[in-house]
A = this chain, B = another copy of it.
C-alpha cells in the first residue's frame, strides 16, 4: 500500500481535495487513471468526497468500446457513477489544425467541462505523472519554446488537480502488478507516429542511459524553471499595472513607459495585454515585434489584426474588438 499512502499524503498535504467536494476523475481505463482511482477510493476512508468517473471514447481504435465497457464495470463494482462520452459528439466544435494530439486534447477538455457542469462538480482529477511531466518538458525544448512554454504542470491549477506528479510510471505499474489490478492497454501509446511516444520510447531512455540520475535531476530543473516563470508572471503583472490605466473604462497603455522597459519584458507585457483584453491571437515572435514596431511608429494611428485593432493617440494605446 506504499504508493497509495504516498499519494494520499500528498493530496492531504497539498490540500488538493477538501471534505465534501465533488470530484470528477478523467478515466481512460489505462494504468495511470486506474491507479489514481484506487488512490481516491483509498482516500475516501479519510476524507468524505464524492467521486464520478468520466470516460471519453475516442473511437480511434477498434477496441476502444471495450475500454468504455471496462470503465462501466469498474464504476459499477466500486459503486460510483460513470459519465461516458463519444469524441465524435464533441469534435464538430473544433477545427483540425494538423495535430491529432491537440485536436484530441480540445475534445477531451470540452467533454470534461460538460461532465463537470452536468454533475455540478468542484474538481477534475487527472492522472498525469512524473514521466508525463518530463516528456512534456522535452517536447517543449524540442519545439524551441520560451520559459512560459517550459512551465510545467502543477498539482493544482484552477479546478484541475494532478495528484500523481511525484509518482513515476514505474511505481504505478509496480503497484498494479503487485495487486493484480487489471487495466486497459492503449496500443496508440506505442505508435512511433507521435512525437511523445518517440520521446518516451527512444530519447528519454537514451538520456537515462547517459546518466542514471537523469529523471530525478531533470525534474529538479523543471521545478526551478517553474519557479522562474511564477516570478516572471508576477513581475510582469506588477509592471503592467504600472504602465497601464483605465481611461473611460478602457484599458490604456502608456507607450513611453512601455518603451523605457527591457525588450524582454516589453514582449511579455504585450502578450499580457492581449491576454487581458481577451484578444484571440497566436503569440508568435513576429506578431509581438509587429505590435512593438507599430507602437514606436510616430505616424501610424491604428493597426488591425484579424478582428481587433490597436489604436494610438497622444502616446497612449488601447485595443478595440471589431464586431
Q: Which residues from chain A sit less than 8 Å from chain B, CB to CB?
A: 138, 140-147, 150, 195, 198-199, 202-203, 205-207, 209-211, 213-214, 216-221, 224-225, 227-228, 230-232, 234-235, 262, 264-265
Question: A207 — nearest CB in chain B belongs to which residue?
Answer: B203
State whether A198 touches B210 (Cβ < 8 A): yes
Contact of A231 among B195, B214, B220, B262 (CB under 8 A): B262
Q: Are A142 and B264 in contact (CB under 8 A)?
A: no
CB < 8 Å: which of B138, B144, B225, B227 contacts A220? B144
Closest-by-CB residue of B relative to A195 is B211
Residues of B within 8 A of A144 (CB): 213, 216-221, 224
Residue of B nearest to A204 (CB): B206
Given A262-B231, A264-B231, does the pair A195, B210 have CB atoms closer than 8 Å? yes
Kindly list chain B residues whose C-beta atoms are within 8 Å of the C-beta of A228. 146-147, 228, 232, 264
Are B142 and A218 neighbours in the complex by a CB distance under 8 Å?
Answer: yes
Give the residues in chain B near A264, CB-CB below 8 Å: 227-228, 230-231
Could you list some 20 contacts between A and B, CB below 8 A? A138-B207, A140-B221, A141-B218, A142-B207, A142-B211, A142-B214, A142-B217, A144-B213, A144-B217, A144-B219, A144-B224, A145-B224, A146-B221, A198-B209, A198-B211, A202-B209, A206-B207, A228-B232, A228-B264, A230-B264
